[in-house]
Amino acid sequence: MRYSQLLLPTTKETPSEAEVVSHQLLVRGGFIRKLTSGMYTYLPLGFLALQKVVGIVREEMNRAGAQEILMPMVQPGDLWQESGRWKKYGPELLRFRDRHDRDYCLGPTHEEVVTDIARRELQSYRQLPINLYQIQTKFRDEIRPRFGLMRGREFVMKDAYSFDVDDAGAGRSYEIMRQAYTRIFERCGLEFRAVEADSGAIGGSFSHEFMVLAETGEDTLVICEACPYAANVEKAAIAPSTETVAEGARAAVCKVATPGLKQVDKVAEFLKVDPDKVIKTMIYLADGQPVAALVRGDREVQSVKLKNLLGANEVESLNEEQVWQQTRLPVGYMGPLGLEIKVVADQEVMHMVDAVTGANEKGFHCTGVNPGRDFEPDVVGDLRQIAVDDRCPVCGGSLRLKEGIEVGHIFKLGTNYSEAMEATFQDSDGQEKPFIMGCYGIGVSRVVAAAIEQNHDAKGIIFPVPLAPFQVIVLNLGPKDETFCLAAETLYNGLKARGVDVLYDDRDERPGSKFNDADLLGIPYRLTVGKTYEKEGKVELRARRTGATELLAPEQAVDHIAGLVRQALV
């Protein structure tokens, strides 16, 4: 492609609404333009980058034996009502009615539609296993879309669905997809980890997220330094304590005046105890009902763990005014003694002795509180967020926390959808059985953004070669000089003939502008026909990632660059 003929509106100005690097650079580089909140048009370079991801995903899915289909983005509401997700999914599901007053939605995912296909078209175990996938536009009505392609309302996704006759077969399908995803992200040239994750609104018993490691990641990952264990903090397990509660005399509960002291550290300092001797009480709404969550004073409640522990569909944290409306209790002075709402305690709380809690009265706390004697929680379990000083739940090794961006998620769904929607097949004994399902998603457009978050510098994007819209840019610094033009054209045509994706900057612009645009666009290799060609008959090859340069005779340059690109695509 010739730059002079390409719609590529680069800009020096950073858009005011762009909060993260990928959003800033995608707009500045002319890859995308905002249509409305959370919805973007892909301009030519953005679409080319997107198609690079699509190509890798499609090749690896086909290689893994999956079959590509295309399902409608608009889905009938009755399928979602069958599965039970019509109300459960929440406001992110954009619902509407057609002219016949029938319910529809814009699909954020396609479990219902593909299960309907399976129950209509797959009757026998002889047709299984099967994996169906699509690459398609999705819509999720995010309450606060932000970060450009990282959290939009409309996005491009690859979603696949496997159908098996039994759990063993479903496990094999899951492993095939796990390996395929590993190959996909390795081929994309990204640093990533597969981590244990919560299944969320999709449901199912087991899942892994594929996370691109980046400082600007939205998720925090827990990674063991001694074994392969890795998990999202929402899922990271904390092993039950093996300590036994010390025997002996217990202090009596005593109410103590603590005027104006709401924070754990202030209360602990006033009472001359450590924060880990305080029981912190937090109020949440679980499916609309208030519940008290108890953790040690130096810990934090993990809301996803709370939701799973309660078996709730939705858990919502409350502000001070909302807590008062729900409980008539003062924030900062709440405790489990005499609470008339459900109480959920972290397992660690049950090992505390002579603890400090709120007295459920403004300006007062209680000392000498002992779980099991003075209060009995309704539910006890792993409730708190894991911390870096915890130990690996698998091997006991040291942990480190890393930020990550979710780009893929694989789920073991079991029979969640097939049973709800009566999707069955006939097994080898002639019995009707529900399909054992799996679900496997990749945020294709999100991969582009995540790649930039992981690969950039002060000058712009640094695309991995496999994802770059163009692998080489040829700069002609003498567009009015026939000798320069002939050399640049020869290089451009030679690279195209060898299958290299090349952009020819034939514009009549200052060299500085051309260099700056090449850096901004993140094209891996820059081949310049400039002063060195005029003086020595050589062109300059510069690697965007390292900045390393070398001078080459034009007749050598094409083969050399083609070899570099071919090596990077292996």
Determine the average pLDDT of the residues in 384-404.
89
Does residue 205 surpass a pLDDT of 70? no
- Show the tokens assigned to 359: 């007295």
Contact 149, 137 (CB under 8 A): no
Q: Model's pTM, two decimal places?
A: 0.85
Lowest mean pLDDT, pick from 47-61, 226-240, 458-472: 226-240
Place 245 in a pLDDT band, splitting at 50, 70 and 90.
low
How far is the C-alpha of 268 from the C-alpha of 560, rounded, in Å? 68
How far is the C-alpha of 292 from the C-alpha of 294, rounded, in Å? 7
Place 19 in a pLDDT band, splitting at 50, 70 and 90.
confident
From residue 5, give the alpha-carbon distance in Å to each of 9, 503, 505, 507, 518. Answer: 12, 11, 10, 9, 16
Q: Give the per-residue pLDDT at 202.
A: 46
Check residues 528 and 204 and name the one with the higher pLDDT: 528
Does residue 159 surpass a pLDDT of 90? yes
pLDDT in tens, 299-315: 999 999 999 899 888 89
Q: How high is the mean pLDDT of the chain?
A: 94
pLDDT in tens, 74-117: 999 999 999 999 988 989 999 999 999 999 999 999 999 999 99
Residues 6 or more apart whose CB falls under 8 angstroms from that of 53 comprise: 188, 444, 447, 448, 467
- Given CA atoms 558, 559, 560, 566 in this order, what sign does their dihedral have? positive
Q: Which of 378, 451, 491, 340 is nearest to 31 (CA)?
A: 451
